[in-house]
């Protein structure tokens, strides 16, 4: 038997030869030929041309040959649907075969042929097989229902297969039960709201019985299904736990992990003072440890899950530190994961051991691993105060090795140690300064600069050190630039006499020569602060910093809860919710841990609830500022110098796709300054809070619409939408080109984007974020780019915007700074929106009010503009403007001039009044004149530009 | 669920490709080749996500097995399945190699059709599979045989067929332990554990009901308290040293887990032939068969002096075998001189280590090696990582202290009793990762 020869034929004319052989009379020759066909198919050759010939071989009593032909059919039926019909007869006949193996084979294969016409014929045989006397056929038919559902869901429902499948849950054969459960679970996933699985105490009992008897795989299906059940009370959940715990001793790791998932989930419902609760906790540890003696790939899956479990319930593994010690021969992915867990488990009790280990690891070969080990030492210092001193001395030892990446990593963590224990370890600064020249990574440079700035008064040559960085200011990364700016300002406030020149230099570099908005903003803030009130500046910039938190890299609690519900699955490996990597509707359902149902005795949960609620209100997005506040809003920006390293406070919106952005994008958006300005972080964190669509329209927008229609001013023409312009050229964004425009539709502001992938690779994971802007524009939802963007593909996206985001005055007023993130990088661009987007529908003022307001606004707030070459009469102009929510209130004709009085209301409540003069008498005089009056005169220019654009288009 | 399964050779050529789900296309085959196989060392995880498609892979010699999916599958299950797939293939045609796979590709497709349906793993016990996936072609089975096959494949005892007969009922129990140690240079035990397996080879007629007993501390203590049965009186009475604390154990799927959970008794109907009955782990009171005492001294920049003493720590009447001590040397080693009292020692430049081999060594003995390592001067700033000294050996006892107390066989339908079964028990302790830092 040397079948390998089939792989070697590569000559031309092969298809013809095969054709001849397939039609040969000799059975052996036929079989050989089919084998060759399958071999060609495997290596990716197209052998679909042989379809009729291969199907002809189907009528055979040779089971092996039959299976090969079926394999071929499954691959090519879709490309030859008409021919595939030829096979139906054989299938139907085989479903009646006395041999159960053949019946099952037929129904199994038929379900894999995704041709509509065939599925119709499949129904009757499938119905029979679902009730077959042989369990082997039934278990195959159960899976076939799921296959059919994938092809044609409606058909499955219409034919009543779902009910038959439900009946199979009570089948006498455990494997049939398991497959029925698997099929139902899959079908239920695509109907999130249907009560398909209908889990109730009776059916749960049946599942638990089958659990004891079925194959290891069946146990996994059943356990995964059980995990979706919500027990009615703590008693029921305890009794399920009791019956699931024996699975923890199964040799199959997947069974163990699925059992752990069920237990972790149902444990939530048990009162903590229950004896059983403690017993269960104790029972969970050993199997988790045993998973670490499995093959490395499984260890990896286990470790990723343990990482979640340790965060959720640290008590389970707190005594098991040693098993996470890294072995010399562990694959790197196991090493890195173990290290993560070691840090999470580090405590005063085991810190000495942990440190000794970490020190060993820091001398290993793998760069990533060594870096992580060094970082871990720093994290230990922050976490366990007693060990801080030892950690620092260990880090100093490591710096002495002069291994470049070790030194850099050490400096980054020492900065955090300084933050945690101020005025304790500053004696090491001298050693750090010695290594200044070797730092080439932005993070390390930024850390070092922060240290120099923070302790400028103790470093004699701080100014020289900082000056040396300043030389190549524009070549530095943003992170370093921001840090350098802050450090020099700190230095100036501490030693004002010698460093005046330096501070001026850096401020001008930041504000005048840089095109980075963050840097410019920060530069301006310092500049103004220093020039207006140096004392206040000192208070602000050198303010005492809040302590940094002990735990880092914690997974956000709601996400953690969801991931706990996905233990064992890919989601738990990626540490991402399934919606982040699964397409379509499957698995998008968010799973939650059950709430404790115990009576009054559980005192903990309500507390947690209030705390969570409290922090929720704190981080709510800022409210629309009142009129006239726009000017002063610069001051609203938090001027605090780098303060905390903590992640931005979690907001409720995070789950909904804001996630990714916060994880990666935001850091860099914030400039990733080491300290991470807390206030800015909070501000940004709040932005992605998802607004329900109905809130997008400014209040009363709908009413205004109604009013307008009733008023019968004529149907609006449709608001003016400027043509799309290229905002982000592909050159600047690694192949991503973005062009776009803004539109206001039915009271909702839309940002319409065209994303084009001009790179060679697929782009995914798009997200968008705005910087603060004059009118608080913010995305009202995540950027909906569902499918990956393949090379040369273009996609049109429309992003609804809300106007309740944080506010900051921009220059020009209608400037918007945008960050777009994809799997490759984060890109920044700025664009200007026509201010007419912000004109709300209820902007029509009463005449009397108009007159009063017009008089009320001081004359110096009035500005005049001319629109040249505009051939419009007053009515046309009025209609055009009306379409963009610029309402004509009155019209007067004086001396051959039509005077239109118009009112506009901006989304933030500012009223703008305007007077438009149109020459009617003189056809040669085509210029229009417009005067604009507003309490906030800085918007006048924008309004004028907008009127001009509307009228000329 | 699993959307497709591919097998590649080391060059990334596809040997087997079976797609189960519509969302996996042919381009997935290429994506894995380009992004994982050809990426060499770049890929640092057994799970890779490429364009929203997840790839799970394991490697056996130079063959890559990859499972592909676009859904949120049970990741642990996918890996367990891949291992199982390897086991099944090995049971059918031996070593997993490119040649064997090409030679058996029809068989592999047949197996894949049977053990994975729409991406859901089905019964994959070789015992059962071999009854109907035979590769002999037209073999026509009688009706009884057919239903016997199907009831076995789907049945509660899917791992054993009925009607097995042996003239001589015989069983072999192997207690195989690997003892793992990580010791600091000062001789402090940083971590030590034994992972053991009880492997059973049985040649028993009918459907025998078996019960396995060992000196599990929990069982012995329970029996000791509860007035003691005959057996417990004999072996459990000896006190603490007689019993061992098992941290955790897992069982072959034939063992009734709920019974173990409730009564801690191990009862089962074994598969015919060989099976791994249980795996266990212990961390307390481990007998460490050897101690390694290293002494490394750097003499100037170009010389190292190494002295290593090993001490055997078990009954003098027992003999350890296949002892091997591996002392790592720096990369810039230019020459080594070794002197050892016992066995043979050699410097292996290609492995950067001195390998010292001793055929046999009795208990409570001591042996020593000393070496002078000459180094080439380098200007490499990076320090030598000093990998730990590792050791291999085999001893004829169980370092965990585990003892088999009984294995009882009941077959009520056939006329043989527990006494008629010939039983053999053997203990082998091997080194797992047995390292001493220096």
CATH at residue B315:
2.60.40.1170
Residue B148 included in any domain? no
- A114 vs B22, B54, B104: nearest CB: B22
User: Do B18 and B47 sit in the same domain of this protein?
Assistant: yes
User: Are the Cβ atoms of B248 and A246 closer than 8 angstroms?
Assistant: no
Measure CB to CB from residue A39 to each of B71, B105, B191 and give the nearest one.
B105
What contacts 24+ positions apart, CB below 8 Å, involve A390-398? A390/A355, A391/A355, A391/A417, A392/A417, A392/A425, A392/A428, A394/A355, A394/A358, A394/A359, A396/A428, A396/A431, A397/A359, A398/A362, A398/A374
Cα distance from B151 to chain A (closest Cα, Å)?
A: 7
The arithmetic mean of pLDDT across residues A255-283, rounded, is: 92
Q: Which of A110, A139, A105 is nearest to A124 (CA)?
A: A110
Same-domain check for residues B279 and B325: no
* E strands present in B237-365: 248-251, 266-268, 273-282, 290-299, 303-312, 319-328, 333-340, 344-348, 353-362
Largest CA distance in chain B: 83
Residue numbers belonging to the annotated binding site of B: 344, 346, 348, 357, 359
* Residues forming beta bridges with residue A818, ordered by sequence position: A770, A829
pLDDT tens-place string over residues A193-204: 667 777 888 889
* Domain housing B371: 290-395
Residues B111 and B183 grouped into a single domain: no
- Contacts of residue A732, Cβ cutoff 8 Å, sequence gap at least 6: A827, A829
Contacts of A440 (CB under 8 A, 6+ apart): A404, A408
Residues B62 and B108 in one domain: yes
Cβ distance A252 to B80 less than 8 Å, yes or no, reads yes
Task: Give helix A500-512 / helix A517-532 axis angle, nearest 10°.
Answer: 140
Whichever domain contains B17, its CATH number is: 3.30.450.60
- Chain B interface mutation, best of A250, A297, A373, highest count of B Cβ atoms under 10 Å: A297
Same domain, yes or no: B300 and B376: yes
Based on the fold, state whether residues B274 and B303 are members of the same structural domain.
Answer: no
- Contact (CB<8Å) B51/A252: no
Specify if B75 maps to a domain.
yes
First to last CA, chain A: 79
Tell me the per-residue pLDDT of A299-339, one tens digit each, with 9 for 90 and over: 999 999 999 999 999 999 998 888 899 988 889 999 999 99
Cross-strand partners of B58: B65
**Residues B362 and B296 placed together within one structural domain of the fold:** yes
Contact at CB, A570 and B151, closer than 8 angstroms: no
Strands B4-8 and B14-19: antiparallel
User: Is the residue at B158 inside a domain?
Assistant: no
Q: Does residue B376 share a domain with residue B261?
A: no
Residue B333 pairs with which residues in a beta bridge? B375
- Pair (B8, B123) in one structural domain: yes
**pLDDT of res. B328:** 92
C-alpha dihedral over A140, A143, A144, A149, to 10 degrees?
170
Q: What distance in Å separates residue A686's CA from the closest CA in chain B?
A: 28
Does residue B149 sit within a domain? no
Is residue B259 a part of any domain in this protein?
Answer: yes
Residues in A closer than 8 angstroms to B110, CB to CB, are 64, 67
Which member of B22, B74, B117 has the closest CB to residue A568?
B74
Q: What is the mean pLDDT of residues A682-689?
A: 38
A247 or A402, which is more confident? A247
Query: Which residues of B fall within a CB distance of 8 Å from A287?
Result: 248, 250
Contact (CB, 8 A) for A523 and A490: no
Disruptive mutation site among B11, B19, B75, B94 for chain A (greatest number of A CBs within 10 Å): B75
Does B151 map to a domain?
no
pLDDT tens, A818-850?
888 888 888 888 888 888 888 888 888 888 788
Number of domains, chain B? 3
- Chain A residues in contact with B437 by the CB 8 A cut-off are 360
Lowest-pLDDT choice from A410-414, A887-891, B199-203? A887-891
**A-chain residues within 8 Å CB-CB of B435?**
327-328
Largest CA distance in chain A: 107
Nearest CA distance, A39 vs chain B (angstrom): 8
Cβ-defined contact of A67 to B113 (cutoff 8 Å) = yes
Q: What angle do CA A267, A270, A276 make, to 5 degrees?
A: 90
> What's the count of helices (H) and strands (E) in chain A, helices before strands?
40, 13
Tokens at A600, concatenated: 């009054």
Residues of A within 8 A of B122 (CB-CB) are: 139, 175, 179, 215, 217
When CB atoms are compared, the residue of B51, B146, B156 closest to A762 is B51
Measured between beta carbons, which residues in chain A are less than 8 angstroms from residue B47? 300-301, 570, 573-574
Residue A556: strand, helix, or coil = coil
**Mean pLDDT (whole number) for A708-723:** 52
For A886-904, the DSSP string reads -EEEEEEEETTEEEEEEEE
User: Over chain A, what is the mean pLDDT?
Assistant: 79
| Domain boundary pick from B379, B395, B411 | B395
| B53: closest CA of chain A, how far (Å) | 8
Residue A424 has φ and ψ, to the nearest 5°, of -125, -45
Helix H or strand E encompassing A941: helix A940-951
> What distance in Å separates the CA atoms of residue A211 and residue A217, rounded to the nearest whole number?
10
B416 and B366 assigned to the same domain: no
Residues B254 and B340 in one domain: no
Partner-chain residue, chosen from B150, B195, B251, that has the shortest CB–CB distance to A251: B251
Closest residue in B to A357 (Cα–Cα): B190
Rounded Cα distance, B250 and A251, in Å: 5
Q: In what order do the strands lie in the sheet with B344-348?
A: B248-251, B273-282, B189-203, B170-183, B422-436, B389-395, B319-328, B353-362, B344-348
- Using a CB-CB cut-off of 8 Å, the residues of chain A touching B261 are 245-246, 249
User: How many Cβ atoms from other residues are within 10 Å of residue A153's Cβ?
Assistant: 14
pTM above 0.90, yes or no: no
Q: Are strands B14-19 and B116-117 parallel, antiparallel or unpaired?
A: unpaired
Q: Is residue B21 part of a domain?
A: yes
Shortest CA gap B415–chain A (Å):
28
pLDDT at position A60 is 78
Q: Give the SS3 label for residue A93.
A: helix
Measured in angstroms, the CA of A66 and the nearest CA of chain B are apart by 10
* pLDDT at residue A697, rounded to an integer: 39
With CB atoms and an 8 Å threshold, state whether A332 touches B44. Answer: yes
Tell me the backbone φ, ψ of residue A168, rounded to 5 degrees: -65, -20
Which of B130, B160, B192 delimits the end of a domain? Answer: B130
What pLDDT band is residue A240 in, cutting at 50, 70 and 90? very high
Tell me the per-residue pLDDT of B258-294, one tens digit each, with 9 for 90 and over: 888 888 889 999 988 888 999 999 998 899 999 999 9
Whether residue B150 is contained in a domain is answered as no
Nearest to B118 among A71, A135, A143 (CB): A143
User: pLDDT by residue for chain B (438 residues), tens digit each?
Assistant: 899 999 999 999 999 999 999 888 888 989 999 988 888 777 789 999 988 899 999 999 899 999 999 999 999 999 999 999 999 999 999 999 999 999 998 899 999 999 999 999 998 888 888 888 876 654 556 777 777 777 777 766 778 877 888 999 999 999 999 999 989 888 889 889 999 999 999 999 988 999 999 998 888 888 766 544 444 333 333 334 578 999 889 999 889 988 888 888 899 999 888 889 999 999 988 999 999 999 988 888 788 899 999 999 999 999 999 999 999 998 888 999 999 989 999 999 888 899 999 999 999 999 999 999 998 887 665 567 788 899 999 999 999 999 999 999 998 888 888 888 999 999 999 999 899 988
Separation between Cα atoms, residue B213 and residue B221, nearest integer Å: 14
Q: Are residues B201 and B177 in the same domain?
A: yes
Highest mean pLDDT range out of A118-132, A544-558, A595-609, B305-319? B305-319
CA distance B318 to chain A (A): 29
Q: Which residues in chain A are closer than 8 Å to B121, comparing Cβ atoms? A: 217
Question: What is the number of helices (H) and of strands (E) in chain B?
Answer: 9, 23
Whether residues A249 and B248 touch (CB distance < 8 A) is answered with yes
Calculate the CA dihedral of residues A375, A377, A378, A382 and round it to 10 degrees.
Answer: 130
The partner residue sitting opposite B383, judged by closest CB among A245, A401, A582, is A401
Contacts of A175 in chain B (CB under 8 A): 122-123, 153-155, 158
State which H helix or E strand residue A462 sits in: helix A462-470
Among A104, A249, A364, A367, pick the best mutation site for testing chain B contact (most B Cβ within 10 A): A249
| Pick among B12, B25, B77 to test the A interface (most A CBs inside 10 A) | B77
């Amino acid at each position: 038997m040397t079948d390998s020869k089939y792989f070697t034929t590569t000559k031309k004319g092969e298809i013809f030869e095969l054709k001849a052989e397939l039609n040969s009379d000799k059975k052996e020759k036929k079989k050989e030929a089919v084998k060759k066909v399958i071999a060609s198919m495997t290596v990716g050759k197209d052998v679909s041309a042989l379809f009729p010939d291969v199907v002809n071989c189907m009528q055979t009593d040779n089971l092996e040959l039959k299976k090969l032909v079926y394999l071929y059919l499954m691959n090519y039926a879709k490309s030859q649907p008409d021919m595939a019909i030829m096979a139906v007869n054989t299938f139907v006949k085989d479903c009646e075969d006395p041999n159960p193996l053949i019946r099952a084979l037929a129904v199994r294969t038929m379900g894999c042929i995704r041709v509509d016409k065939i599925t119709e014929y499949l129904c009757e045989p499938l119905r029979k097989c679902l009730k077959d006397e042989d369990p082997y056929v039934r278990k195959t038919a159960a899976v076939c229902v799921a296959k059919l559902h994938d092809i044609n869901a409606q058909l499955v429902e219409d034919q009543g297969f779902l009910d038959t499948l439900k009946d199979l849950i009570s089948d006498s054969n455990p494997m049939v039960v398991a497959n029925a459960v698997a099929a139902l679970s899959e079908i239920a996933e695509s109907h999130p709201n249907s009560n398909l699985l209908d889990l109730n105490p009776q059916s749960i009992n049946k599942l638990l019985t089958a659990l004891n008897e079925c194959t290891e795989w069946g146990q996994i299906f059943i356990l995964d299904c059980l995990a979706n059940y919500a027990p009615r009370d703590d008693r029921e959940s305890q009794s399920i736990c009791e019956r699931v715990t024996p699975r923890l001793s199964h040799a199959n790791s997947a069974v163990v992990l699925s059992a752990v998932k069920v237990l972790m989930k149902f444990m939530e419902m048990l009162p903590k003072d229950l004896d059983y609760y403690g017993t269960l906790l104790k029972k969970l540890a050993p199997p988790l440890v045993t998973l670490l003696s499995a093959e490395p790939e499984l260890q990896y899956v286990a470790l990723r899950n343990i990482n979640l479990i340790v965060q959720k319930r640290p008590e389970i593994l707190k005594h098991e530190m040693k098993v996470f010690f890294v072995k010399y021969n562990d694959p790197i992915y196991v090493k890195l994961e173990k290290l993560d867990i070691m840090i999470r488990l580090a405590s005063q009790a085991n810190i000495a051991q942990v440190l000794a280990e970490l020190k060993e690891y820091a001398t290993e070969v793998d760069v990533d691993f060594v870096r992580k080990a060094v970082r871990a030492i720093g994290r230990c210092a922050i976490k366990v105060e007693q060990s801080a001193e030892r950690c620092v001395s260990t880090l100093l030892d490591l710096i002495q090795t002069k291994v470049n990446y070790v030194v850099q990593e050490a400096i980054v963590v020492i900065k955090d140690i300084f933050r945690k224990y101020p005025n304790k370890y500053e004696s090491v600064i001298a050693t750090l300064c010695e290594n200044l020249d070797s730092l080439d990574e932005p993070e390390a440079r930024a850390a070092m600069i922060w240290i120099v700035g923070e302790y400028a008064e103790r470093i004699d040559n701080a100014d020289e050190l900082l000056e040396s960085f300043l030389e190549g200011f524009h070549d530095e990364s943003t992170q370093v630039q921001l840090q350098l700016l802050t450090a020099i300002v700190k230095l100036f406030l501490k030693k004002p006499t010698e460093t005046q020149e330096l501070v001026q230099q850096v401020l001008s570099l930041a504000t005048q020569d840089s095109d980075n908005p963050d840097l410019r903003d920060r530069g301006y803030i310092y500049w103004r602060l220093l020039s207006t009130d140096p004392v206040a500046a000192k208070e602000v910039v050198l303010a005492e910093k809040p302590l940094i938190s002990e735990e880092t890299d914690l997974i956000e609690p709601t996400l953690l809860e969801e991931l706990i519900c996905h233990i064992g699955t890919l989601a738990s490996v990626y540490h991402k919710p399934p919606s982040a990597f699964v397409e379509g509707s499957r698995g998008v359902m968010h799973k939650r841990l059950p709430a404790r149902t115990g009576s009054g005795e559980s005192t903990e949960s309500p507390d947690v609830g209030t705390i969570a609620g409290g922090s929720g209100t704190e981080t709510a997005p800022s409210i629309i500022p009142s009129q006239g506040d726009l000017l002063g809003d610069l001051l609203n920006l938090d001027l605090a110098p780098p303060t905390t390293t903590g992640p931005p406070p979690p907001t409720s919106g995070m789950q909904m796709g804001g996630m990714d952005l916060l994880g990666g994008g935001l850091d860099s958006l914030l400039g990733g300054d080491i300290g991470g300005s807390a206030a800015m972080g909070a501000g940004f964190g709040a932005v992605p809070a998802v607004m329900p669509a109905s809130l997008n329209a400014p209040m009363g927008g709908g009413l205004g619409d109604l009013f307008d229609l009733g008023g019968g001013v004529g149907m609006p023409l449709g608001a003016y939408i400027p043509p799309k312009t290229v905002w982000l050229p592909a050159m600047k964004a690694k192949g991503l080109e973005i062009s776009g425009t803004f539109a206001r539709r039915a009271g909702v502001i839309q940002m319409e984007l065209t994303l084009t992938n001009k790179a060679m690779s697929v782009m995914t994971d798009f997200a968008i974020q705005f910087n603060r802007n004059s009118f608080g524009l913010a995305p009202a939802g995540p950027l909906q780019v569902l499918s990956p963007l393949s090379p040369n593909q273009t996609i049109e996206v429309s992003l609804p915007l809300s106007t309740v985001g944080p506010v900051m005055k921009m220059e020009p007023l209608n400037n918007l700074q945008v960050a777009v993130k994809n799997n490759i990088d984060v890109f920044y661009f700025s664009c200007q929106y026509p201010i007419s987007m912000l004109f709300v529908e209820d902007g029509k003022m009463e005449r009397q009010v108009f007159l009063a307001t017009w008089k009320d606004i001081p004359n110096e707030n009035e500005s005049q503009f001319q629109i040249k070459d505009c051939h419009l009469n007053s009515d046309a102009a009025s209609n055009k403007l009306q379409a963009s929510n610029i309402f004509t209130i009155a019209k007067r004709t004086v001396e051959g001039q039509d005077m239109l009085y118009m009112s506009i209301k901006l989304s933030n409540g500012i009223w703008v009044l305007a007077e438009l003069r149109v020459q009617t008498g003189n056809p040669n005089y085509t210029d229009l004149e417009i005067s604009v009056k507003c309490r906030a005169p800085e918007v006048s220019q924008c309004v004028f530009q907008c009127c001009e654009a509307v009228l000329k288009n | 669920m699993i959307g497709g399964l591919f097998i590649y050779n080391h060059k990334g050529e596809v040997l087997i490709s079976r797609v189960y789900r519509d969302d996996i296309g042919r381009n997935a085959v290429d994506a894995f080749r380009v992004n994982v196989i050809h990426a060499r060392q770049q890929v640092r995880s057994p799970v890779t996500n490429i364009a929203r498609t997840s790839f799970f892979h394991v490697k056996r010699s130079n063959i890559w097995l990859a499972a592909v999916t676009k859904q949120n599958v049970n990741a642990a299950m996918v890996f367990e399945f891949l291992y199982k797939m390897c086991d099944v293939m090995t049971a059918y045609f031996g070593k997993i190699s490119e040649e064997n796979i090409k030679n058996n590709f029809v068989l592999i497709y047949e197996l894949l059709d049977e053990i994975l349906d729409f991406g859901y793993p089905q019964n994959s016990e070789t015992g059962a599979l071999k009854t109907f996936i035979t590769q002999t072609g037209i073999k026509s089975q009688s009706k009884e045989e057919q239903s016997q096959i199907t009831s076995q494949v789907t049945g509660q005892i899917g791992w054993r067929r009925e009607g097995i007969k042996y003239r001589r009922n015989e069983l072999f129990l192997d207690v195989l332990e690997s003892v793992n140690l990580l010791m600091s240079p000062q001789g402090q035990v940083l971590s030590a554990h034994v992972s053991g397996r009880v492997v059973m080879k049985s040649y028993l007629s009918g459907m025998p009901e078996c019960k396995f007993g060992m000196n599990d501390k929990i069982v012995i203590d329970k029996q000791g308290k509860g007035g003691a049965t005959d057996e417990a009186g004999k072996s459990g009475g000896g006190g603490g040293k007689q019993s061992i604390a098992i941290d955790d154990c897992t069982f072959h799927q034939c063992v009734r887990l709920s019974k173990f959970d409730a009564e801690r008794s191990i009862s089962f109907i074994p598969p015919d032939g060989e099976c791994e009955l249980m795996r266990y782990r212990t961390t307390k009171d481990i007998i460490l068969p050897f101690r390694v005492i290293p002494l490394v001294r750097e003499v100037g920049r170009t010389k190292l002096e190494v002295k290593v003493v090993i001490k055997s720590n078990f009954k003098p009447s027992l003999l350890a075998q296949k002892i091997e001590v591996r002392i790592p040397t720096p990369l810039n080693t230019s020459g080594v001189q070794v002197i050892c009292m016992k066995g043979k020692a050699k410097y292996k430049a290609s492995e950067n280590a001195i390998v010292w081999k001793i055929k046999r060594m009795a208990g409570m003995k001591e042996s020593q090696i000393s070496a002078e390592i000459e180094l080439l001067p380098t200007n490499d700033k990076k320090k030598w990582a000093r990998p730990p000294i590792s050791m291999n050996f085999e001893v004829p006892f169980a370092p965990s202290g585990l003892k088999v107390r009984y294995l009882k066989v009941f077959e009520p339908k056939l006329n043989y009793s527990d006494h008629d079964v010939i039983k053999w028990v053997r203990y082998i302790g091997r080194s797992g990762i047995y390292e001493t830092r220096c």
